[in-house]
Structure 1
Amino acid sequence: MEPEIEEHITRFLGMLDTAFRRRGEAEGLPERFREAVRGTPRHRFVHRFRADRDGPVGDFDAEPQRHLAAVYSDRVQIHVGADDAALESTNSQPSYVLWLLHRLGLEAGHRVIEIGSGSGWLAAVMGRLVGDGSVVGVEILGDLARRSQADLAALGIANVAIVEGDGAVGNDAGAPYDRAVIMAAVWDLPTALFDQVAEGGRLLLPIALAGGGGRDCHVAVLRREDGRFRALEAVPGAVVRFVGPGQERGAERRRLGELPFWPGIGATPALYRTLSLGARDPARFGAAAYAFRLFLGQTEPGFAVFDDGEGEELSASPFGLVDTAARSVAICRPGMLLGYGSPEAPRRLDAAYRRWTALGMPGPAAFELEVVRTEQAPRPGPGLWVEKRGVSALVWRLAGAAPPPRVGRQKAVRDRPRPAGPETGIRPPGP
């Protein structure tokens, strides 16, 4: 099979090169990444998997030739157990995770920790990139951890180790780390990461969005400075959910029919008016709503994304505010604002919309983000919002907004989410 494998690897590297160029890397896939990927054959880390969440189970060990094309594709692979049930782990979209690693700035000699190492393939690639450095992966699924360690040993990769354990506690034995990687959407940053990442070190962190179902997130590269993390850059993405105590908060979308007071107020809207956000155009609604939804999530404790039961992407889902005490709901849909029950929630949403437009309708790139311990969070102020999530808090600071600028309501959105990527794995969300 060696000539056939070489053919697939060459094709795979071409896919990665094209994807890097599409993401703005003029030189394509860096040569050191090309060498690391070539030296870490992906098929050596793939066993039982699905190429699609509802697709058939593939068994590479039983039929390697049949599955080579799927293994060497730029698509996610979902790990499957012996009972054919999907595991809470994936091989993420290769071009995207490698592009993120490129942003992370891995260098020879770095000590790296990966939380949720899955198959071990990405840890192995990082092992090649850091040379005489070291990589430790922490994987909570015991069978997966043992299998990936065996795959690494079979390839003779000695500077990578997989530890079976809860990623929320990290791995004290190898700390402090120059780089840390989490490839799952985190709601509340585990406190161990504040202690185990070296000063000046970087953390690749998908930050779960409120109401995003646990998957939709900002994927941020953060630098540890004075015991806190400051975002150097962030892009929208979608990844599997990080599991553990406190991680479920804020993740789920709300069903209107499950609100205890909905039967008494949901028959007819008490308020209906047009809303310029999206102007009834679902495509435009996705771009502008992403920015406004982020602002509501930062500033309004009653924020919610609603589930109509139709499986919409986050970018197309209705969202708004719920005020249980006032028995009031406000819902944003393309081109309209709907209010149910008392006027309290629509009033608050309208006020938030006016604040947002007065600030110039800022999108995510207009904010400077810090992740801090909750007890270190500053007091909110003009142009500064604090989102307390548990042991950690997100501090959103509007760039250059002290005091906030006075901008007309019709100013265009400052930045828009990136266009949609493949419908697999860790990826940019829909427009």
Structure 2
Amino acid sequence: MIRLLRFQGISERVLDAMARVPRHLFVPENVLENAYEDVPLPIGEGQTISAPNMVAVMCDLLDVRNGDKVLEVGTGLGYHAAILSILAGSGMVYTVERKPELAYKAREIYKKLGLINIDVIIGDGSEGFPEHAPYDRISVAAAAPDIPGPLIDELKDGGRMVIPVGHYYQDLYLVEKAGGQVKTYNKGGVAFVPLVGKYGFQ
């Protein structure tokens, strides 16, 4: 998996983080044999774990640095947040999941792996997590109809966010905030489950 991602131009820093996270721990038994294939997989509750390539691309775009405070929306079983936590080093990752069963399982996996700089919150990720805002980086793993206002508000000046936007046709956007101005960059077509919530799909 790592060799294939390297061939696709993913940075060595992100590849190193991904190499340290055993993806098979984050997928159900019925798809275990496909854990290291570059495809999204069902994880239950109508949700999926993103393909490794998509996780890698999003991490590269975010450019998470040691000490960063990161917000992730859409924990799932926690694979993406685990990689973000390694990239953040001495920083902290807050990840929000609306499905309690998935959140509980993610917490158990983190405990097993000894990842102590991740906090899993059960809630509406479209509202972000204002208790610890602002964030250096925000990663959204579900497609919103538009970029939620609260997430823009919770992004630190100088910060970055990656988020898929759209319904039937989705694009991945890089959002940068600098000097109070917000700029968005379309990074191409993607396919994610919908972001359900107050500022997402109803």
**1:365 corresponds to:** none
Query: 2:12, 2:73 → 1: CA distance?
Result: 26
Q: How does 1:16-415 map to 2 (within 5 A)?
A: 16-18=5-7, 20=8, 25=9, 29-48=10-29, 58=30, 67-68=32-33, 70-80=34-44, 87-208=45-166, 214-245=167-198, 247-248=200-201
Q: How far apart are residue 135 of structure 1 and its match?
A: 0.7
Query: 1:247, 1:220 → 2: CA distance?
Result: 16
SS of 1:90 mapped into structure 2:
strand
**1:13 corresponds to:** 2
Q: How far apart are residue 226 of structure 1 and its match?
A: 4.6
Cα-to-partner distance string for 1:202-243 (whole Å, 9 max, x where unaligned): 1101121xxxxx242121111013545211442122221111
Cα-to-partner distance string for 1:126-172 (whole Å, 9 max, x where unaligned): 11111111111100000000110110011001111111111022112
SS of 2:46 mapped into structure 1:
strand
Paired residue type of 1:40: V
The 8 Å contact of residues 14 and 59 in structure 2, kept in 1 or not, is answered as no
Paired residue type of 1:123: A
What is the TM-score normalised by the length of structure 1? 0.45
SS of 1:184 mapped into structure 2:
coil
Change over 3 Å in CA distance of 1:88–1:186 after alignment to 2: same
Unaligned runs of 5+ in 1: 1-11, 49-57, 61-66, 81-86, 209-213, 250-431
Query: 2:59, 2:28 → 1: CA distance?
Result: 24
Q: CA RMSD in A?
A: 1.9
Paired residue type of 1:129: L
Query: 1:108, 1:43 → 2: CA distance?
Result: 26
Query: 1:130, 1:205 → 2: CA distance?
Result: 19
Cα-to-partner distance string for 1:393-424 (whole Å, 9 max, x where unaligned): xxxxxxxxxxxxxxxxxxxxxxxxxxxxxxxx
Query: 2:65, 2:161 → 1: CA distance?
Result: 14
Change over 3 Å in CA distance of 1:246–1:33 after alignment to 2: closer
Larger RCO (alpha carbons 8 Å, 6+ apart): 2
**1:388 corresponds to:** none
Paired residue type of 1:46: V
SS of 1:192 mapped into structure 2:
helix
The 8 Å contact of residues 194 and 227 in structure 1, kept in 2 or not, is answered as no
Q: How far apart are residue 34 of structure 1 and its match?
A: 2.4
Paired residue type of 1:167: G
Query: 2:21, 2:172 → 1: CA distance?
Result: 25
SS of 1:222 mapped into structure 2:
strand
The 8 Å contact of residues 216 and 239 in structure 1, kept in 2 or not, is answered as no
Paired residue type of 1:162: V
**Which of 1 and 2 has greater Rg?**
1
**1:334 corresponds to:** none
Paired residue type of 1:79: I
Cα-to-partner distance string for 1:241-296 (whole Å, 9 max, x where unaligned): 111246448xxxxxxxxxxxxxxxxxxxxxxxxxxxxxxxxxxxxxxxxxxxxxxx
SS of 1:152 mapped into structure 2:
helix
Identity %: 29
Query: 1:30, 1:200 → 2: CA distance?
Result: 21
Unaligned runs of 5+ in 2: none
